[in-house]
A = this chain, B = another copy of it.
Amino acid sequence: MLKPVRKQSLSDAVFDQLRAHIVTGQMKAGASLPAERALCEALGVNRGAVREALKRLAQARLVSVQHGGASRVLDYRASAGLELLSDLLVTDDGFDAKVVRSVVEMRSALAPDIARLAAQRGGERVADALAPIVERMRAASADARVLQSLAMEFWSALVDGTDNVAYRLVYNSLRRTYEKCMDLLTGVLEDELRDLRSYAAIADAVRRRDARRAERLARALTHRGEERLLAAAELLEAGRAPKGDLA
């Protein structure tokens, strides 16, 4: 299995480097950034590349730039958006257990409401999208990785059913974060993934517009995985198990 080689433009590299310095605290909030021209020289790149990177940093609310004055580092915890989550996930030596825990917790908090709203607003329309996914899960129940991917599709369809754009956007951000450490978690979640009965039951509840039941089922389903994930995350936090399979 070959992967496409990763190509990175200069401004991307500058962006990554500055972002890393900021989120790791090497550049403290409130501090002034070097002038653009100084950064050019220090990084050995053209000013345009630096400016593109700074514009992106400003959009991510990691820095604030001001015409005439020096650019300053912001407190990302106070200003950054959810997009930053996937960047916070990876540290020098593996993954940040607290970030993993955060993702898992938010998933558990949102999943029941997503199922509820999908049942309430989606009904048959959504159930018809869910059915073939469950069917494919049944067929692929051997491969945890495929199951994982199908479960993602399942939740995506459910989120679409909520007609809630905020949930949709959060799902996108969470998914990107999750995919970065998917290999690490597939084993831990295998129980949840193999619980086809629950997926089918949620789909059924959605079809019958039984919001209460869909909500309860989703809560139960994610709750089980959450406990194992939290345990695994604690293990990761304490015992240093970077890259190793947590299952």
User: What is the interface of chain A, defined by CB distance below 8 A to chain B?
Assistant: 7, 9, 11, 48, 51-52, 55-56, 59-61, 67, 77-85, 88, 98-99, 101-103, 105-106, 108-110, 112-113, 117, 163-170, 172-174, 176
A127 to chain B, nearest CB (A): 20
A102 to B164, CA, bound (A): 5
A166 touches B56 (CB 8 A): no
A/B interface sample: 14 pairs, CB < 8 A: A11-B55, A77-B165, A81-B81, A81-B83, A81-B169, A85-B165, A99-B165, A102-B164, A102-B165, A102-B167, A105-B113, A105-B167, A106-B110, A109-B110
Top 9 A-B pairs ranked by shortest CB distance? A102-B166, A109-B113, A81-B83, A82-B82, A81-B173, A82-B169, A102-B164, A106-B166, A52-B55
Nearest residue in B to A83 (C-beta to C-beta)?
B81
A117 — which chain B residues lie within 8 A by C-beta?
105
Nearest residue in B to A54 (C-beta to C-beta)?
B52
With contacts A78-B172, A81-B172, A82-B82 taken as known, whether A106 is within 8 angstroms of B167 at the C-beta atoms is: yes
A82 — which chain B residues lie within 8 A by C-beta?
81-83, 166, 169-170, 172-173
A9 to B83, CA, bound (A): 24
A79 — which chain B residues lie within 8 A by C-beta?
172
A81 to B59, CA, bound (A): 13
A84 — which chain B residues lie within 8 A by C-beta?
169
A168 to B26, CA, bound (A): 21
A53 to chain B, nearest CB (A): 8
A50 to chain B, nearest CB (A): 11
